[in-house]
Amino acid sequence: MIRTRVGYAGGTTDSPTYQSIGDHAETIQIDYDPRRLTYAELLDHFWHGHDPFTPAPSGQYRSIIFYHTEEQRRLAMESKQRLEAAAGRPVLTRIMPFERFYRAEPYHQKYYVRLVPPIEMEFRRMYPDPTSFTDSTALARVNGHVGGYGTIETFTKEIAQYGLSEAGQRLLKAIAYPPRPTRESRSQRKPR
């Protein structure tokens, strides 16, 4: 994925906010490179990233796929039908044409990075404008790693490209990929 933004879509209310969302749903907008990640693969991530069978507690949290082209609509419908056939029950996700996306307020963007203030501050120095902060590819990738959505292999290959200081890189690795105790280190622990 190139970048992600959280926001609101799927409703008719003008200029929704978190406090006044109207009939929109909370959504994520994803920019991706189709040469590296196909739309079908993106759909697989979507289906595995949440429970599409359980009703949402409110419309704000409903599951929706927004499509931009007829091909995307077809692929989304086919993947939904395959999931329903495999599960033997209905998928509650709606599939709708994309109309408009409203960005959520800056304090909702890059949630996982915001939980690590030293990393957030390094990125804020690199991207002082809220839009550039939200739209940063490096920040989207780091947010994914901190949130547990990456691999150590990808992280190791890309970490030098994120623009973080050496201290920031060490902290990020310690948080996203902490060392796991080995058998030897576990056996050396003193009993309580």
Encode pLDDT of 23-42 as tens digits. 999 999 999 999 999 999 99
- The residue type found at 134 is T
Query: Do 28 and 70 belong together in one domain?
Result: yes
Query: Do 73 and 114 belong together in one domain?
Result: no
With a CB cutoff of 8 Å and minimum separation 6, the contacts of 188 are none
Return d(Cα 104, Cα 5) in angstroms, integer. Answer: 8
Query: Do 17 and 95 belong together in one domain?
Result: yes
10: containing domain? 3-103
Q: How many domains are there within the chain?
A: 2
Across 63-182, the runs of DSSP E, i.e. the strands, are 64-67, 94-97, 101-103
Q: What is the pTM of this model?
A: 0.83
Express each pLDDT in 40-83 by its tens digit: 999 999 999 899 999 999 999 999 999 999 999 999 999 999 99
Of 76, 103, 130, which closes a domain?
Answer: 103
- The pLDDT of residue 185 is above 90: no
CATH of the domain at 31: 3.30.1060.10
Q: Which two tokens stand for residue 132?
A: 């550039």
Query: Do 91 and 22 belong together in one domain?
Result: yes
Return d(Cα 43, Cα 18) in angstroms, integer. Answer: 26
